[in-house]
Amino acid sequence: MRQIILDTETTGLDPAQGHRIVEVACVEMVNRSLTGNHLHLYLNPDRDSDPEALAVHGLTTEFLSTHPRFSEIAHHVCDFVQGAEVIIHNAAFDLKFLDAELKKVGRPAFSTLCGKITDSLLHARELHPGKRNSLDALCERYGISNAHRTLHGALLDSELLAEVWLAMTRGQDALIMDFGGADTQGGNGMKMERFDASVLRVLPAGPDETAAHEAYLDILDKAAGKPCVWRAQAE
């Protein structure tokens, strides 16, 4: 399962008013693990950023003028996201800019490139109705440090969102495989054999590991507003 966490920075709020993308970042996850593979590009928008946007990302016209235009790097973005699930926080905003940029260079809409587009903001609102669900708020809720984030940047925000997404969806992992016979077929067509867990060595956790585990359970308790399932089962 290949997922791409994507974020952009722009000169303003609306491409219909001539605003452009100035930064795009894509962070790759495969089977819910960060691979270290990413795409990060600054872009020359051929215009100034609105003062409000400049205050958010800090990318000056002078700095951006030394970088390529979207038309020169569109193929890199398209190739990187091809066929993947793309996860974006407040996807509608980024998609309208991506679609506008792709249209300018004669390419189809962004959604046609991806296997699926997932809006992490909508997912967060379903999990935490009535609460603040900005990236900063979610970092605080899930105990993810963003102290090094003084300005918004597409790459940093993508990396933070990847951690937030893993925390928000951790319960979706299947922890138990049901083997009906001595061996069976996996979902990918590979043959799987019954595994005898009794041959595994049992290594008890040390004091540092136990303390780290308890600290993580505290984070889960805070996010859920009640004792997490692990602690509820232990009582």
- For 1, 30, 189, the CA distances from 192, given in Å and listed in that order, are 19, 21, 9
Active-site residue, 148 included: no
Angle made by CA atoms 220, 225, 229, in degrees to the nearest 5: 50
Length of the chain: 235
Closest C-alpha among 194, 220, 182, 166 to residue 29: 166
Q: Which two tokens stand for residue 193?
A: 């054999």
CB atoms within 10 A of CB 155: 18
- For 169, 188, 228, 235, the CA distances from 231, given in Å and listed in that order, are 19, 35, 6, 6
Direct distance between the N- and C-terminal alpha carbons of the chain, in angstroms, rounded to an integer:
36
Residues in contact with 174: Cβ distance below 8 Å, sequence separation at least 6, in sequence order: none
Distance of alpha carbon 122 from alpha carbon 19, whole angstroms: 25
Distance of alpha carbon 35 from alpha carbon 32, whole angstroms: 9
Among 75, 148, 152, 213, the one annotated catalytic = 152
Q: What would you report as the CA-atom Rg of the chain, rounded to the nearest whole angstrom?
A: 21
Catalytic positions, written as ranges: 152
